[in-house]
Amino acid sequence: MDTKETRSILAEHLARYRSRSYAELAAWVRDGRIDTPEAIAPSGNRYQIELQFFWDDEPNGDVRVSGSISDSRGIRAFLPLTDSFILSRQRLSKDRERNKYFGLAINEPAVVYSSQMKLKKNSLRKRGAGNLRLG
């Protein structure tokens, strides 16, 4: 499995959900929705993708969208590549108020928190940059 290709495909699919509203994603959490699209890469490889929607910490709080991708061959069938992001209800409402104040478009995409950013923050903390504020 080409890791670069699979990361790109998964990122593309997650991006489609980043632009969704909090209300829509929260409704999917309540419904227990799981999306399972299949993707065919430019290389011709077929990939199975699974996207899950659930509360990150507490019911009716932040929504986590988690995606996994696998070509269903070898070890990756049991250990798929994964990524996720969090849509924060609290941050969304704060951003809308700030946007009104600064005259920005209200319908801008919601702020999301990527698991890749979390990894970056953690690695900076381990290197002694604990007081560095990211995002």
Burial degree of 45 (CB within 10 A; 0-12, 13-18, 19+): middle
* Domain ranges, ordered by start, for the chain: 3-124
- Mean pLDDT across the chain: 75
Does residue 34 contact residue 52 with C-beta atoms inside 8 Å?
yes
pLDDT value for 79: 84
Residue 92 confidence class, pLDDT cut points 50, 70, 90: low
Segment 16-39 shows an average pLDDT of 94
pLDDT value for 127: 45
pLDDT tens figures, 35-90: 999 999 988 989 999 999 999 989 999 999 999 999 877 777 788 999 999 998 77
Q: Does position 31 have pLDDT exceeding 70, yes or no?
A: yes
pLDDT tens figures, 99-120: 444 443 333 333 444 544 444 4
Bridge-based pairing of strands 46-55 and 81-87 is unpaired
Residues 42 and 8: their CA atoms lie apart, in Å, by 11
pLDDT value for 94: 42
Residues 28 and 14: their CA atoms lie apart, in Å, by 15
